Amino acid sequence: MRRASLQLRITVGVIVYMLLLSLAVVYHGNTINERAERLLWRSLLQSELDHYLARHKEDPDYHWRDTDDVILYDSNEPRTIPHRLTTLSPGLHDDIKVDGRERVALVKDQAGRRFIVSLDITSFEDEERHLSTLMVGSALGGLLLSGIIVAWGLRRLAKPLSKLATDIATLQPDRPEQRIEPGPRASSELVVIADAVNGYIERNARFVERERAFIDSASHELRTPIAVIAGASEIALDQLTLAPSDTPVATRQQLQRILHTARGVEQLISLLLVLAKDPRRLAGISDRFRLDQLLPEIMEDHRHLCADKNLTLELAPLPACEVVAPLTIVQAAIGNLLRNAIENSDRGTIVITLRPEAVVVIDDPGHGMSPEEISAIYARMARGGGREGNGIGLDLIARLCEHLGWNLKLEPRAERGTRATLDLGRTLATVGKSR
């Protein structure tokens, strides 16, 4: 979901505030105007009525003379009072339509007679409506102009902040020399933020450099002695093969154990070094190979683990499938999944299936893994937990797959056992890709 910018939020907030303020001013202004009008009409009509009553008291034969605007009706006089006025109760009544004209009327009962003084306010109301329209138009125009000014001003004020946000968003983890420049118009707060980000970049660059130095040193300092141990073990075993009768069985078994452990440590070091590297930097160590040719080799390398069990390994028909990935990592991932299947099975057949979209499926007959055990593996992977037991744990394989963008799924089979699905689809070789 795209988030609104700070400039837009402030602009909208200011415009809404000004709109509400304008509505409040218009409402209160209209209320005050209506009350002032009623006071004016009441005062004017009351004075006219009082003048008539005073003159009539002095001269009973005095008759009111209507003007173009003011008309007085007396219930004792024979002329007809308009029906709309006869329905009014005593008091002041505004905006009354009489003969198509807008009038205001003051109704008063006095000495058994009813007096109605009405004033034609049609022209006044027209002028008032025209003035109201002009005021509303001016308010809307002022609101629009204020919004434009506010938006322009905020844009100038927020420009350094927007530039800072854009610069931060374009930071790349593999460029330790990059820095954030707040600019000459930046506020003191933006300078503090830029300095803090630059300080973090420098500390992160030093940390990354230390990690790279450690990885390079570990790659050489750890692999070299392990390779020496493995090589020496192989040579010793080859020499013992030439004189088997003179070699104790225990010595041969220990040498084989040393060689097996050394190969396992080599593999573990390779996996840990891959986890320590940016996946984008692994392209240089990737190989192009046939997955359908690799699976039989992996199966044969692990067949000896089934010697003491009533287990058989079976390969389903293999479709042609070519991938581009680190060969040793693919071997380690599939090999450890197969080893786990063998260790968690007592008897039956372990079936290895390859789908054309570079998906490897290993079905074992069990005893299988319970849903709780599978959930525990995913939980350890999520919190970066360590492996349990000997060898390379499934949680490490799962973290490796996540790091490389592969998808590993473990689930109990409906009948019995466990199904491990390794999706290497992201490494699938494309047609025409250079070798």
CA atoms within 13 A on the CB side of 302: 25
Burial 336-350 (b: 16+ CB within 10 A, else e): bbbbbbbebbeebeb
The one-letter amino acid code at 28 reads H
The span from the CA of 314 to the CA of 110, in Å, is 117
Topology at the third CATH level for domain 285-427: Heat Shock Protein 90 (3.30.565)
pLDDT of residue 321: 93
pLDDT band at 292 (very low <50, low <70, confident <90, very high): very high
Task: Determine the average pLDDT of the residues in 197-218.
Answer: 79
pLDDT of residue 256: 80
The structure tokens 């199904």 sit at 419
Among 6-15, 198-207, 245-254, 401-410, which is the least confidently predicted range?
245-254
Residue 382 has pLDDT above 70, yes or no: no
The one-letter amino acid code at 298 reads I
pLDDT of residue 383: 52
Task: Determine the average pLDDT of the residues in 314-319.
Answer: 93
The span from the CA of 122 to the CA of 129, in Å, is 11
| 240-249, 321-330, 372-381: which is most confident | 321-330
pTM, entire model: 0.48
Residue 434 has pLDDT above 50, yes or no: no
- In Å, what is the CA distance from 387 to each residue of 51, 398, 399, 408, 412? 107, 11, 11, 17, 21
Among 248-252, 345-349, 352-356, which is the least confidently predicted range?
248-252
Are the beta carbons of 385 and 399 closer than 8 angstroms?
no
Q: Write out pLDDT tens, residues 56-106.
A: 888 888 888 888 889 898 888 767 888 888 888 999 998 888 888 899 999
pLDDT of residue 322: 92
What are the residues facing 423 on neighbouring strands?
359, 407
Among 16-30, 88-102, 251-265, 274-288, which is the least confidently predicted range?
274-288
Q: What percent of the chain has pLDDT over 70?
A: 86
Among 166-175, 298-307, 369-378, which is the least confidently predicted range?
369-378
pLDDT band at 367 (very low <50, low <70, confident <90, very high): low
Task: Determine the average pLDDT of the residues in 409-413.
Answer: 86
Domain boundaries, the chain: 6-142, 285-427
Instruction: List all residues 6 or more positions away from 353 whose beta carbon is below 8 Å from its beta carbon.
Output: 316, 360, 361, 362, 363
Are the beta carbons of 208 and 173 closer than 8 angstroms?
yes
Q: What percent of the chain has pLDDT over 90?
A: 14
pLDDT of residue 417: 84
Q: Identify which has the larger pLDDT, 357 or 416.
A: 357
pLDDT of residue 261: 82
Residue 333 has pLDDT above 70, yes or no: yes
Are the beta carbons of 57 and 135 closer than 8 angstroms?
no
Residue 388 has pLDDT above 60, yes or no: no
DSSP codes, 92-107: EEEEEEETTEEEEEEE
The one-letter amino acid code at 397 reads I
